[in-house]
Amino acid sequence: MNGIDGLIVINGINHFPISWLHSKGFCEYQLYLEKIKKIKVEKTAEMIIGKQIHEELEREFLEQAEEEMTIEEALIRSKETGESFFIRELETISSKYGIYGKIDEVQIFPDNILIIDDKPGSVAYQGLIKQVAAYSLSFSEEFKPDRDIFSVLRNRDTKEVFWCQKFDKNLLETVVKDIIEIHDLIRDVRLPESTTNPQKCLKCRFRRVCDRSLA
């Protein structure tokens, strides 16, 4: 497991980036080739542009931010005063589940919390759902808020929400299953599965080096 890109070890526990769940949802074998086997291919234009847009959104948010406070302080104050607080690019980590990442936006209200992941499209693919669910899981484990959490997918360009669901037991169980499967891949105790959808292979940037490509 040494040298796996993005993997960090804290107190002897492997932690992988939450974004891996998106890749797994698209094709677990792609995730395996890129992260475990460390096969390098060029980034797509969409990936480069997406990173630039995220950085610009964070810069604009920081310029408009009026006050600095911790998440714990925001949770207490919103309950006491009825205020709402928006936080961009919040780093989160869960040692219990061995995951970490950066949440695009957290909106803290007196009665609930929105965990928002911005995406370039408006289709709630399973990989996207599991990624934002994992952000919700990690936030819940780290900060233990006293109100409901909702997992939200939002179009990065239009700012329209195209999927929203309360982070409940069913969503928890769904994402934990995938988290365990990725940890098993890291520990080399299970073989990766590949997509059976040729259309995914046509869109995959690993198609020219993948020995399971259907394209």
DSSP per-residue codes, 45-113:
HHHHHHHHHHHHHHHHHHHH------HHHHHHHHHHH---EEEEEEEEEETTTTEEEEEEEEEE-SSEE
Q: Whole-prediction pTM value?
A: 0.88
- Residue-level pLDDT at 93: 97
Domain that holds residue 22: 8-203
Tell me the CATH number at 79.
Answer: 3.90.320.10
- Residue-level pLDDT at 68: 80
Asked, for residue 213, whether it belongs to a domain, the answer is no
Asked, for residue 156, whether it belongs to a domain, the answer is yes
Pairing of strands 99-108, 13-17: parallel
Q: How many separate domains does the chain show?
A: 1
**What is the DSSP track for 40-60?**
--PPPHHHHHHHHHHHHHHHH
Asked, for residue 59, whether it belongs to a domain, the answer is yes
Asked, for residue 1, whether it belongs to a domain, the answer is no
Asked, for residue 212, whether it belongs to a domain, the answer is no
- Residue-level pLDDT at 67: 64
Asked, for residue 24, whether it belongs to a domain, the answer is yes
Q: Please state at what angle helix 169-186 crosses helix 126-143, rounded to 10 degrees.
A: 100
Asked, for residue 214, whether it belongs to a domain, the answer is no
Mean pLDDT by 10 residues, the chain (215 residues): 82 96 96 92 60 60 65 95 94 97 96 96 96 98 97 95 97 97 96 95 92 92
Asked, for residue 129, whether it belongs to a domain, the answer is yes
Cα separation, 74 vs 85, whole angstroms: 7
- Residue-level pLDDT at 1: 47
